[in-house]
């Protein structure tokens, strides 16, 4: 009896040494929790949309007045005023050289200042958008550098588009300035500059505002 049992038991042990069956599944919940937390943290703190920049170059400050003559037919003066008002006049205002231009009020909308600028800048705008379209549709194949160079050339040699002089009164908000410079970029204006208002223009602006106010109330000027 004892022998048999011993042999049986011994035989079993020798034949198959079976490892104990452990469950290999590890409870991953805590790990998932921590990872979820970290993931959320990194996702929220990552500065995803990097801010963009708009470049402007201001004319160098010198005591000498600039010598560049602006042809009268190309000049467009934009005057920004408080409460998002915007005025413009064509040509140059010089009290000694009449006729004195009329100051017109417009607005920042699509049909306001943009329409006016686009109409004045039609030639250059068409050239630039044609070139861009040709590249997009594959009619012309060129590298990005070449394209940039050609766009720059178009702007440099533009001699019919407007020369925009941007002026602002005292209480204008920063947003308006950025908006108007952005409008230059949208309309592909080749030449524009931020300049100071002179006293004659202030008078013109004041007169225009009076006229508009009088027009609205219906009273004779």
Partner 1 sequence: MGKIKVAKGAPRTDMTPMVDMFMLLLTFFMLTATFRPQEPTQVDTPNSISEKLTPERNLITVYVGKDNKVFFNVDNGEDSTMHVRQEVLKNVGAAYNISFTPEQLEKFERMDAFGMPIENVKAWIDAPDNTAREALQTGIPVDTTEAATSELANWILYARKANPRAEATIRGDNTADYKAVKQVLDIFQGAKIDKFNLVTNLEKVEVKLENL
Q: Which residues bind partner 1 (CB under 8 A)?
A: 25, 28-29, 31-32, 35-36, 38-39, 42-43, 45-47, 49-61, 80, 114-115, 118-119, 122, 125-126, 129, 168, 170-179, 181-182, 185-187
If the CB atoms of residues 63 and 221 are measured against partner 1, the closer one turns out to be 63
Phi, psi of 8, deg, nearest 5? -60, -50
If the CB atoms of residues 62 and 219 are measured against partner 1, the closer one turns out to be 62
105 contacts: CB under 8 Å, gap ≥ 6: 85, 86, 87, 208, 212
If the CB atoms of residues 38 and 142 are measured against partner 1, the closer one turns out to be 38
CA end-to-end distance (rounded Å), the chain: 133
CB of 181 to partner 1, least distance (A): 8
CB of 163 to partner 1, least distance (A): 19
CB of 110 to partner 1, least distance (A): 8
Strand positions, DSSP E, 177-216: 191-194
If the CB atoms of residues 31 and 213 are measured against partner 1, the closer one turns out to be 31
CB of 6 to partner 1, least distance (A): 41
Residues 92-122 as b/e (b if ≥16 CB within 10 A, e otherwise) read bbeeeeeebbebebbebeeeebbebbbebbe
Per the DSSP assignment, residues forming a β-bridge with 80 are: 86, 168
């Amino acid at each position: 009896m004892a022998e048999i049992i011993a042999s049986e038991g011994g035989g079993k042990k020798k034949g198959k040494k079976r490892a104990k069956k452990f469950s290999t599944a590890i409870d991953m919940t805590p790990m998932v929790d921590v990872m979820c937390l970290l993931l959320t943290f990194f996702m929220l703190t990552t500065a995803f949309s990097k801010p963009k920049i708009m470049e402007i170059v201001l004319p160098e400050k010198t005591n000498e007045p600039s010598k560049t003559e602006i042809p009268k037919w190309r000049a467009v003066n934009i005057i920004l005023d408080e409460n998002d008002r915007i005025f413009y006049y064509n040509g140059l205002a010089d009290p000694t050289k009449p006729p004195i231009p009329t100051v017109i009020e417009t607005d920042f909308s699509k049909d306001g200042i943009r329409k006016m600028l686009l109409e004045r800048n039609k030639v250059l705008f068409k050239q630039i958008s044609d070139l861009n379209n040709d590249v997009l549709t594959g009619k012309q194949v060129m590298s990005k550098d070449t394209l940039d160079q050609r766009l720059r050339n178009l702007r440099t040699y533009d001699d019919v588009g407007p020369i925009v002089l941007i002026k602002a009164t005292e209480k204008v908000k920063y947003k308006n300035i950025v908006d108007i410079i952005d409008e230059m970029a949208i309309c592909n204006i080749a030449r524009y500059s931020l300049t100071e208002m002179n006293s004659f223009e202030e008078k013109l602006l004041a007169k225009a505002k009076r006229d508009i106010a009088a027009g609205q109330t219906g009273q004779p000027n």
